[in-house]
Each structure stands twice: as C-alpha cells, then as structure tokens.
Structure 1
Amino acid sequence: MFIVLFLCAYLLGSISFAVLLSRHYGTADPRQLGSGNPGASNMFRVAGKRLAILTFLGDLSKGLLPILLASWLGFTQHEQAWIGLAAVVGHLYPAFFRLKGGKGVSTTAGMLLGLYPPAALLALSVWLLTFYLTRTSSLAALSALPLTLPLLAWQQPQALLPANLLTLLLVWRHRSNLKDLLAGTERRF
C-alpha cells in the first residue's frame, strides 16, 4: 500500500496548477514568460494575483493531501515524510510536463503543514519576514525552507532523511536564483 500511495503522491505532484490555470483562463503559459517557473511567484508576474493565489493553493494541496491521506491510513511519520517527498519530487520533475517543473516551495509548505504544523508556521514566518525586508521570493524561500526542515527533522526524527533530501533538492532547484542573488541580478517584487 505504501508504494501505491508513494506513486500516487508523485503523480499528484506532477500536476502543474500554473499551467492548467493559465490554459483554463487563457493567460500566457508561465513557462514561457517571466522566470519561466510554473509556480505561484511567476504566476503573479505573468497572470496576476488571483491566479497566483489559486496556483499557490493548488501546489500547497499537492503536498498536504498525500500526508493527510497517509496519516488517515495509519502510515508512520517516516512513511508520511517519504510520501510527502514523492509529491514534491513530482512538482519538481513532473511526469506530465517532460520533467520540467517548479521550485517546490508551495508543495513543500503543504508537506510541512501535514507533517508538523509548527514547522510550517515557522517557515511561513521566515518567508514573510524575508520577503518583506528584501522583496525577493527566492531569497525568502531559500531562507525559510532549509532553516525549517531541520527543525522538522529534530521534532520528528523519523523524517530526518527525507527532510535532508528535500533540502538538497530545493537548494539544487534554486541554484540559478543563488547565482542571481550573488550577482545582484535576482528579480524582485
């Protein structure tokens, strides 16, 4: 049963709400404009606040729903963490979009919310404070998630390995943002 839910989480993660919403509402494909990232931040740039919020909620639910289902089915925290990681990997490398996905921030937030809500609240607080001070979404994400995931692993030690892998994946997916941040050319809001 674990393998089935793991694969379903990956497939759910592979759904790109940014792409589907842009098609449904007839707006530009976010992969073709702005940063080229099919996520909430770029949707805000290319399609406006409403579609950005819908994208955020859709991506958040991709990380949250598999965790809630796994918990309801009685899976351990360790298994839930792996299932959440599968959803995030689906968002990063989606089966439906030639393995070209988003940065995974909202989906990871949903995973955190399901696994350990205080970690999700801390991540949100760090993200909001960093964004308020810098107006840079990528810096806010790079500040919030890598700082919060170890807290999750500390409070939920069974999630240590999946949380560390997730941290590495998120930093890897933000490598171009890191280069731009260091060069002083990163996009701001």
Structure 2
Amino acid sequence: MNAATLAAWVAGIVAAFLVGAINPATIIARVLGKDLATSGSGNPGATNAGRVLGRKWGVLVGVLDVLKGFVPAYIAAQAFGPHAAYAVGLAAVLGHIYSPFLHGHGGKGVATTLGAILGVHPWVALVVLLVFAVSVALTRWVAAGSILGALSMIVVAVLVWVGHAPGDVWTGVWLAAIAAIVLWRHKNNAVGWWRQRRVT
C-alpha cells in the first residue's frame, strides 16, 4: 500500500466515523420539540424514535441510519475493495455508537451495521434482515430481532472461515467483530429478558 492509498484509507475511515456520528433520531426529535434522552428508553435510535415520535419518524430514522453505514462502505468497496470497506464500515458503526456529537453516546448500531454490510456483501445483509424480520414478527420484540440477527452474522462468519460461504478470513473477522459490538450493546436487553424469564 503506497502513501496515497494509505492517506485515502485514513481519510475514508475518519469521514465514515463522522458521518456515523451524525444522529438523525436526535436531530429530528429536537426539531419536533422532543428529547429522546429523557423519553422512552432514552436511546437515540430508530426504535425509540418510533416509540416517542411516531412510527413514520422511526422508519425515517432507520433508513437514514442504514444509509450512514451503506454509503461510506459502498464507496470504499468500489474505490479500494472490500478490505477498505470493512474498515470504513466499522468506523461508521463506531461513530454511531460513540458519537462525539452526543458526548460519546449513541444508538445501538443495528441499522448502521446493516447498512455497512449491505454496502459490501448484500447477500449477508439479506440473511440478517430476514432473521431480524422473522424474529420480530414472532416475538414482537425489536431487541430479540437485533440479537438473533447479530448471531446470524456470526454463523455466516463461521461458514466463511470453513469455506462454505464467499469471502476470506477478514470477511469472517469483520462480520464477527461487528456482530459482537451489536450483541454487547444489547447486553442489558438480554439480561432483562433472562431475569424476566426466571421470575415468570
């Protein structure tokens, strides 16, 4: 990798992080006179936006969050290949989760993760979206869809590693890494579900 390519990679990663850090849910809520930090679950993401602002606004936030991951990853993939897109996509997800514009806070990264995958490996995004949709339909719980969608990414990563799905070792590492981030962000949901199950 020459100096010019390295500089382009670094610029793309920084730009993706800053794009990811822009939080549509918070911006739209403020325009509508709401504060998501003190409403609903307090999370500045699409699910809470839909809960507090209404379904149509939640859908809009979700689409914008997907685009935050998709556009940088897609551009990087077309310009420099999938490995650059992995770094750029991860940066967008981390920007969303640890937004400097929200003092290091952010959403849980589900929609932005989906967008990043869509920009590089649309077939994986389709698998994750299908698992998410079926899980939400069966459980009526968005967090369950997010958790099971992330677990499906790990399954795909393993299939890549053993040669039963397209990609190289870095494809599997990337999918497993961003899946782990999503699962970590949903740890409180998982713990709450487990405690509820024990009580009932």
Q: TM-score, normalised by structure 1?
A: 0.91
1:105-161 superposed Cα distances (whole Å, 9 cap, x missing partner): 000010111111111111111111110110011011000122125425713223222
CA distance in 1, matches of 2:178, 2:100: 18
- Equivalent-residue separation in structure 1 for 2:124 and 2:173 (angstroms): 16
- Does residue 137 in structure 1 map to residue 137 in structure 2? no
Provide the residue aligned with 1:183 in structure 2: 195
1:1-189 equivalent positions in 2, closer than 5 A: 1-26=8-33, 28-73=34-79, 75-151=80-156, 154=160, 155-157=166-168, 158-184=170-196
Percent of aligned pairs sharing the same letter: 32
What displacement does 1:184 show? 2.2
Higher relative contact order (Cα pairs below 8 Å, separated by 6+ residues): 1
Unaligned 5+ runs, structure 2 = 1-7, 161-165
For 2:83 and 2:157, locate their aligned partners in 1 and report how far apart those are by CA, in whole Å.
12
Check whether the contact 1:81–1:162 (CA below 8 A) recurs between aligned residues: yes
CA distance in 1, matches of 2:23, 2:68: 10
Contact residue 150 and residue 163 of structure 1 kept, 8 A:
no
2:63 corresponds to which letter in structure 1? L
Larger Rg: 1 or 2?
Answer: 2
Q: How many residues are matched? A: 183
Q: Give me the whole-angstrom Cα distance separating, in 1, the residues matched to 2:105 and 2:156.
A: 29
Q: Is the contact made by 1:119 and 1:152 (CA closer than 8 Å) also made in structure 2?
A: no
Q: CA RMSD in A?
A: 1.5
CA distance in 2, matches of 1:2, 1:97: 25
The gaps in structure 1 that reach 5 residues or longer are: none
Q: Please give the secondary structure, in 1, of the residue aligned with 2:42.
A: coil
